[in-house]
A and B are shown apart, each in its own frame.
Chain A
C-alpha cells in the first residue's frame, strides 16, 4: 500500500487505512496543495505535509487507529436522557 507524499489521489487514510477518502479543500492558489479527509476516523491531511502525515506506510505506529476500534472510544460527555414532556 503506497501513497507517496503529495499524491493527488491518495488511496487510503494514512491513519486508519480506510479506502474512502474525501477531498475537503484546495489551496486558494491553484495546485499548491489539497486537503483530504477520512470520513471513517476523521483524520485530515494536506498533500504538502511531511511524508509521515500523508503516507500510510510512513504514518507513525503510535498514532494509528483501527476502524473497528472506533466504536469503543469513550463518549465524553455522555448524552443525557431527554426531559419527559409534561
Chain B
C-alpha cells in the first residue's frame, strides 16, 4: 500500500501525474461557472478528472478544487490502489482495511493550517471562495468539510469524538446553519449539550486529504473514531493537531473554523440540492457561531457538487456505505458474498449470497433492512446468487429478468421508518420497503422451470488474461 497522502495538495499532485486533474486558468465567475463545470464533469464519464480553478472573478488568489473523489479512478487513487482497479476490487479492499480497525492517532503540536489566524471581524464571505451550487439553494454551503465534536458528557473519551460531513449554510459573516439527522453521531453530542444548557464546541476542517473525507461520510458506530478508521485505511497513524478547545483536527487541513453550536437556537435553513436528486426544502436547523478562522498560506478550498445522480457525492457514499452493510450482514449470514449500496446512499441495495436452502434469500434481504444504515435508507433490496456480481448491473438485470416471478419473489413491508430526504416517503419519514428475490429457486422452493444454466467455453479465463495483455500492448 502507498504511503498516506499528507494533505489535499499532495493528493492533487498525484491526480495530476496520473492525468486525473484539470487546471482551469481562464477567469470564471463564482456562479454559475464553478458548479456548471463540476456538473459537466459528472456527465463526461466514470473516469472524469478533478478540476482546479485559480482565477475566480472578484477574488485575489482563491483556489477551488472540485470532483476530487468524482470518478472510480480518483477513488482508487485515494485508497492508494491502481487507478484502473474495478469497483469490485475497490469494495473488497475497502472491506479488508475496514476490518483492521482501530488504527492509531499521531498527535503533533503544530500544523500548516495555523499559519494565518483571524480572530477579529471574521467574514466567511470574504475569507472563503464560496459559490452557489444549484440555483434553488438558499445560499452558499460548505459541503465537504469535516465537522469535529466531542461529547460534553464524556469529554476525554477519544472513541466518541466525531468527524462528520454535514452541510453548512453560510448565513452570516460568522454564522452557519448545520443539518444533522438523528442517525448522525453529532446529533447525540448536540442533544447532550442542549440538555446541559451549554453551547457545543466544534472545529470545522476544510480542504482535507481524501481518506478522512471518505471516513466522514462512512456510517461508523458511535464508539468508532473516524481518525482511527482513516489510519487503517491509509496504513499509518492518522496525524492530528488539537485545537485550544481540545478537538482533534486533521494536520493537513487547509482551513479550520472554530466555533460553537448555539444552545437552543434554530433558524431557517435551506433548501439545498441534496443527494436524492431533489431540493431538501427549508427547516429550522441549529446554528454555529464561528469565533476563529485559521488557514494555510494560499489556501485551497474544496467542495462537492451535488446534483441528479450520479455526481461526486455518489462516490463519497459508495464503498463507504456498502462496506458497513456488508460486514453487519455477514455477521448474521456468512453466506453473503458482496454488497452494492452505491445507489443514492443505499436507497437501493444489491446483495449477492450463497443460498442455504429454498426461501433463504428473502431473509438475507430482510436483514439488510435491519442493519444500522438499512434502517434509515435501504428501501429496495435486490438479492442475487453468489455467481452474480452485484457491481455489474448487466448481470443484476439478467438475474432480475429471468429469476424473478413477481407472484412469489416480491416482498413489500408497509410503513417502515425512512430518511426524511427520501422524497417517496408518505408521510415524511415513513415508506414501504421491498425485497426482490432474484436468486434461482432451490428446494424446497421448487417454483419455475430452471434447466441447465449456460456456462463458459473451456479456457475462457486464460484467454481473457491473454487478450487483456495484448489489447493493452496494442493501445500503448
List residues of chain A with CB under 8 Å of any chain B CB.
15, 24-29, 32-33, 35, 37, 41-46, 48-50, 52-53, 60, 62-63, 65, 70, 73-77, 79-83
Are B126 and A53 in touch, CB under 8 angstroms? no
Are A73 and B139 in touch, CB under 8 angstroms? no
- Given known contacts A41-B138, A48-B29, what 11 new A-B pairs fall within 8 Å (CB)? A29-B59, A37-B171, A37-B172, A41-B268, A42-B169, A43-B138, A44-B171, A60-B136, A63-B271, A73-B283, A76-B285
Residues of A within 8 A of B420 (CB): 76
Residues of B within 8 A of A80 (CB): 191, 194-195
Are A75 and B284 in touch, CB under 8 angstroms? yes
Are A77 and B187 in touch, CB under 8 angstroms? yes
Q: 30 A-B residue contacts at CB 8 Å?
A: A24-B172, A25-B126, A28-B58, A28-B126, A32-B57, A33-B30, A37-B171, A41-B138, A42-B138, A42-B139, A43-B138, A43-B139, A44-B140, A48-B58, A50-B31, A60-B135, A60-B136, A63-B138, A63-B279, A70-B268, A73-B268, A73-B283, A73-B284, A74-B283, A76-B181, A77-B190, A77-B191, A80-B191, A80-B195, A82-B197
Q: What CA separation (Å) do A24 and B172 show in the bound complex?
A: 7
Q: What CA separation (Å) do A33 and B173 show in the bound complex?
A: 16
Are B57 and A44 in touch, CB under 8 angstroms? no
Total count of chain B residues near the partner, CB < 8 A: 47
A69 to B: closest C-beta gap in Å: 9
Query: A-B pairs with the 3 shortest C-beta distances?
Result: A25-B125, A27-B58, A32-B58
Task: Identify which of B30, B194, B283 contacts A46 (C-beta below 8 A).
Answer: B30
Q: What CA separation (Å) do A41 and B284 show in the bound complex?
A: 11
Contact of B264 with A by CB under 8 A: yes
Are A53 and B283 in touch, CB under 8 angstroms? no
Contact of B269 with A by CB under 8 A: yes
Are B138 and A15 in touch, CB under 8 angstroms? yes
Are A74 and B284 in touch, CB under 8 angstroms? yes
Q: Which of A41, A76, A80 has the most CB of B within 10 A?
A: A76
**0/1 per residue, B114-142, Cβ < 8 Å to A?**
00000000010110000010011011100
Q: What CA separation (Å) do A27 and B195 show in the bound complex?
A: 41
B332 to A: closest C-beta gap in Å: 31
Chain A residue at smallest Cβ distance from B266: A75
Contact of B180 with A by CB under 8 A: yes
Residues of A within 8 A of B125 (CB): 24-25, 35, 44
Are B60 and A28 in touch, CB under 8 angstroms? yes
Residues of A within 8 A of B46 (CB): none
Chain A residue at smallest Cβ distance from B184: A77
Chain B residue at smallest Cβ distance from A28: B60
Are A53 and B135 in touch, CB under 8 angstroms? yes
Chain A residue at smallest Cβ distance from B136: A63
Are A82 and B58 in touch, CB under 8 angstroms? no
Q: What CA separation (Å) do A31 and B379 show in the bound complex?
A: 50
Q: What CA separation (Å) do A70 and B172 show in the bound complex?
A: 18
Residues of A within 8 A of B181 (CB): 76
Are A83 and B195 in touch, CB under 8 angstroms? yes
Contact of B392 with A by CB under 8 A: no
Are B180 and A53 in touch, CB under 8 angstroms? no
Residues of B within 8 A of A37 (CB): 139, 171-172
Are A79 and B60 in touch, CB under 8 angstroms? no
Q: What CA separation (Å) do A25 and B285 show in the bound complex?
A: 23
Chain B residue at smallest Cβ distance from A29: B58
Q: What CA separation (Å) do A49 and B266 show in the bound complex?
A: 28
Contact of B267 with A by CB under 8 A: yes
Are B60 and A49 in touch, CB under 8 angstroms? no
Q: Which of A42, A49, A79 has the most CB of B within 10 A?
A: A42
Within 8 A of A (CB), among B166-195: 169-173, 177, 179-182, 187, 190-191, 194-195
Q: What CA separation (Å) do A73 and B283 show in the bound complex?
A: 5
Are B57 and A79 in touch, CB under 8 angstroms? no
Chain B residue at smallest Cβ distance from A31: B58
B200 to A: closest C-beta gap in Å: 13
Q: What CA separation (Å) do A74 and B30 show in the bound complex?
A: 31
**0/1 per residue, B191-209, Cβ < 8 Å to A?**
1001111000000000000
